[in-house]
Amino acid sequence: MSEPLPPGSESGEDALAPTLLYQDDWLVAVNKPSGLLVHRSWLDKGETRFAMQMTRDLIGGRHVYPVHRLDRPTSGVLLFALSPEVARSLTEAFAGRRVHKEYLALVRGWAPARGLIDYPLKEQLDKIADAFADPDKPAQEAVTSFSRLHQVELPHAVSKKHATSRYSLVRLAPHTGRKHQLRRHLDHLFHPIVGDTTHGDGRHNRFFREHFDCQRLLLVARTLSFEHPVLKVPMRIQAPLGAELLSLFARLGWPASESDY
């Protein structure tokens, strides 16, 4: 079996270009940048660039089939199948919770050392895309486990209530796949993800933009682990954090090497 390809270097010429992480005869995985849509959406009619199309171009024009999703502002491992049959198998693996997902998130406050968030979520409906969906559908099971990797206290009074500001880096493992699950669960825990303009804290988002020139959601889909649908061997695909995030971590006093995470 071929080894995963080394992560592509980040290009200053095209910040939205995905880079190849892994490819064989049945699968392809890319590192999706923050800000890139996975596929065409009614919600962003003016957008012309999508991870599906760009991945297809990256591998010579072969059609790719999506098997899971990442929010537009989330970066990290995005997996595609190269045939409908493999897509069906992988989609069933995701639905059957046979794919282990790990994320890294930088959040407001000092998060607990570890924990389990078991908090059902109401489906978030869009006025256009979900016009015919049932608005009274009961909340769905949503479970996320987490552990804290690092924490820091900065001498900046972002909130009027505190003379300093605290942040944590957490590793997240969602056991279910609800829309915006990690962002909503961390908000529920009172540790919203920095850069989240929907479920986050605007004061801390603004502080990171102005003080660290950080313009993105600080959420990364770090790894996917699963059984290869054809070869039946264990797979673990990891996305690099990249120079921008590692530089930010270093400024916060955290390790600044990919191998530390």
Catalytic residues: 71
d(CA 130, CA 133): 5
User: Strand 114-118 relative to strand 75-81: parallel, antiparallel, unpaired?
Assistant: unpaired
Token pair recorded at residue 184: 């909503």
CA atoms within 13 A on the CB side of 34: 18
Output the DSSP codes for 47-91: ---BHHHHHHHHTTS---EE-S---TT-EEEEEEESSHHHHHHHH
Let me know: does 17 contact 33? Beta carbons within 8 Å: yes
